[in-house]
Amino acid sequence: MQFAQRLDEAIRNKKSLLCVGLDTVLEKVPASLRGHDDPLFAFNKAIIAATAPWAAAYKVNTAFYEAYGLAGWRALQLTFRYLPEDVIRIADAKRGDIGNTSRMYARALFEELGADAVTVNPLMGSDSVQPFLEQEEKGVFFLCLTSNAGSADFQHFGDGREKLFERIARQVQKWNSRGNCGLVVGATHAEELGAVRALVPELPFLIPGIGAQGGDLERSVQLGTDAQGLRAVYNSSRAILYAAQGEDFAAAAGRAAQETQAALQRALQGK
């Protein structure tokens, strides 16, 4: 099954557009877990158990684990193994390099971690991304128009005919021969999000920015999903992970995930 179809299936089965971001910071893990042999995984395990009923996908930002060396990589592996089979497991690694290096990145993320999808920087061109695209069931979300303020420095640059983010979207569409390409487009750029969707109506989108970054949830759902209300998942990390700092952190995360899933569904009804 092609990745785009796998994503649609997860969204339908879970009745959810929510992607929970596991950007776990050790200093924010409750004190009661810090004496654990693996506090990062212990925290993630509790968060996943509490939020799984409401999530179609999880996005695990590898930098938050790589920063802790071998212990962090172990927590990363255990986290991927613990994620439910009925969700899309995204390794947010933002990789991209010459072909033989990208091949090793793809091997590490797809084979060693078991990710269903990865995030990739497309700016080095077609030979740098092909190793990620060889398995049709494995998805690749290419950075297109990111949610951070600094995206304006380069991604909005244009030649009078098209802007860089539009060129990326068109180029990624050309790479989509196996139905496994997608785009990262931020909810903080709602109108541009709609323009990108118009350019590539069938590509899956990973849409960050609806939580702590303050993106327009309702508008981004109406403009970012496809004609069937599919092909997009909306990531929220900090607003769910750290909904509470005390011993009720997991229950609070579950409530935040449920509320976010419900808000996404309400926005979809208004599409």
Match 């994503």 to its residue by tokens.
Answer: 7
Residue 140 sits at φ, ψ, to 5 deg, of -130, 115
Q: Which two tokens stand for residue 190?
A: 């709602």
Q: What CA dihedral angle connects 46, 76, 208 and 120, to 10 degrees?
A: -160
Q: Are the C-beta atoms of residues 142 and 102 closer than 8 Å to each other?
A: no
How many angstroms separate the most distant Cα atoms in the chain?
A: 57
Active-site residue, selected from the candidate residues 94, 138, 163, 174: 94
94 is catalytic: yes
Quick one: tokens of 155? 């991604």
Task: Give me 169's structure tokens.
Answer: 């979207």
CA gap 129, 22 in Å, rounded: 25
Q: Are strands 57-61 and 181-185 parallel, antiparallel or unpaired?
A: unpaired
**CA dist., res. 271 & res. 258, Å (int):** 20
DSSP secondary structure code for residue 26 in this structure: G
Query: CA 271 to CA 269: how far, in whole Å?
Result: 6
Query: Which among 83, 37, 85 is positioned nearest to 60, based on CA atoms?
Result: 83
- 32 to each of 23, 40, 182, 249, 253, how far by Cα in Å? 19, 12, 39, 11, 17
Tokens linked to 194:
């709609």
Which tokens sit at 183? 């785009």
Which residues are catalytic, by number? 94
